[in-house]
Amino acid sequence: MYDQPRANPSVTAMTFDQMLERVRYEGAYPTRERAEEAVRTVLASLGRQVTGDDRVDLAQCLPVEAALTLTAQIPEADQLTGWGFVKDIASRTGATPAVARWDTGAVLAVVARLAGPDLLARILHRLPGGYALLFGQAELRQPQPAA
């Protein structure tokens, strides 16, 4: 028995080209190629953090090319905080943390719209603190005390 996909019915499907143009606008990137580089880098990093049904449902909301970038990654055993996520992107790309944060915000703002509020809330609930701001949302949960 198969579950029906839980795609967000309130969000219009977007092609990869439309996604790149939206990210280019959000990030004020000078070229489509620079926007595509940001999309692929951020989605690959996100693919190492999001697992299970959330990963499957998010992939279903994305254009095929973006979904393949997300799902091609093997999830890491230890999840990074939001700031750790940005620092990881910076270290993998050689960018400064400020540029990595900019890229992350531009891409994840578009991903948040494609995912819709319900799926985004589920994903944020399962990720460590700091991701809400990266998706352009308020951080509403209390940080967990260090063990």
In the chain, helix, strand, coil percent, each to 5? 65, 0, 35
Both tokens of 90, joined, read: 């910076």
pTM for this entry: 0.86
Give residue-wise pLDDT tens across range 14-34.
999 999 999 999 999 999 999
User: Residue 43 — pLDDT band, cuts 50, 70, 90?
Assistant: very high
The answer, yes or no, to whether residue 3 has pLDDT greater than 50, is no
CATH code that applies to domain 16-134:
1.10.490.110
Instruction: Give residue-wise pLDDT tens across range 74-90.
Output: 999 999 999 999 999 99
Amino acid letter, 140: L
Confidence (pLDDT) at 147 = 52
Closest-CA residue to 14 (of 61, 71, 50, 70): 61
What's the pLDDT at 139?
Answer: 75
The band of 141, judged by pLDDT with boundaries at 50, 70 and 90, is low
Give per-residue pLDDT as tens, 47-66. Answer: 999 999 999 999 999 999 99
The percent of residues above 90 in pLDDT, for the chain, comes to 83
Radius of gyration of the chain (CA): 15
Whether residue 7 has pLDDT greater than 60: no
Domain limits, the chain: 16-134
Place of tokens 């998706």: 135
95-140 pLDDT per residue, tens: 999 999 999 999 999 999 999 999 999 999 999 999 999 999 987 6
